[in-house]
């Protein structure tokens, strides 16, 4: 057998082993996430709140309880989370928002939210409807849109 064939076989075996390990780890992570989601759904409660502000902040800057910092892995402490500053009754607190709904959360409005601990799962407007924000376009899409507008094409 030539050396090229041996090298190709070794590379193929390594790729197969890597693929099998990634699928096993992916299934474990997916199962763990489904369990956590089921726990959060079980303990969620509906709260009326006024949203004061929303930002993406690091955990240590967000003013979350110390227990949250202790339970967060060291690698995730520097990542930015979607944080909502809300007023629930007379108390002002910071809550972590779900990434999926962060862009649609209205600021300076009173909303009815599904909350599990310090995690906001969903938000519904009390007065009026939630206005979905306009999707942000990337640099290239903006450039193409401006070029089409100058050329006389109608925007979609």
CATH of the domain at 60: 2.40.50
Does 131 score more than 80 pLDDT?
A: no
* Whole-structure pTM value: 0.66
Same domain, 72 and 22: no
Q: How many residues are present in the chain?
A: 156
- 3-state SS of the chain? CCHHHHHHHHHHHHHHHHHHHHHHHHHHHHHHHHHHHHHHHHHCEEEEEEEEEEEEEECCCCCCCHHHHHHCCHHHCCCEEEEEEEEECCEEEEEEECCCCHHHCCCCEEEEEEEECCEEEEEEECCCCCCCCCCCCCHHHHHHHHHHHHHCCCCC
**pLDDT band at residue 88 under the 50/70/90 scheme:** very high
Is 36 contained in some domain?
Answer: yes
- The string of pLDDT tens digits covering residues 31-66 is 999 999 899 888 999 999 999 999 999 888 888 888
Same domain, 35 and 49: no
Asked if residues 82 and 57 have their Cβ atoms less than 8 Å apart, the reply is: no
Same domain, 55 and 121: yes
**pLDDT band at residue 148 under the 50/70/90 scheme:** confident
Same domain, 53 and 37: no
β-partners of residue 115 are 45, 120
Asked if residues 81 and 135 have their Cβ atoms less than 8 Å apart, the reply is: no
């Amino acid at each position: 057998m030539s050396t090229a064939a041996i090298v190709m076989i070794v590379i193929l075996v390594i790729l197969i082993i890597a693929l099998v390990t990634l699928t096993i780890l992916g299934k474990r992570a997916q199962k763990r996430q489904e369990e956590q989601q089921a726990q959060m759904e079980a303990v969620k409660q509906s709260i009326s709140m006024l949203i004061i502000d929303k930002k993406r902040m690091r955990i240590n800057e967000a003013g979350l309880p110390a227990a949250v910092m202790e339970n967060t892995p060291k690698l995730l402490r520097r990542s930015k989370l979607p944080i909502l500053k809300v007023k629930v009754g007379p108390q002002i607190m910071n809550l972590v928002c779900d990434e999926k709904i962060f862009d649609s959360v209205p600021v300076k409005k009173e909303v009815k939210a599904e909350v599990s601990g310090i995690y906001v799962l969903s938000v519904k407007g009390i007065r009026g409807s939630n206005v979905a924000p306009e999707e942000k376009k990337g640099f290239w899409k903006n450039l193409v849109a401006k070029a089409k507008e100058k050329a006389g094409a109608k925007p979609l």
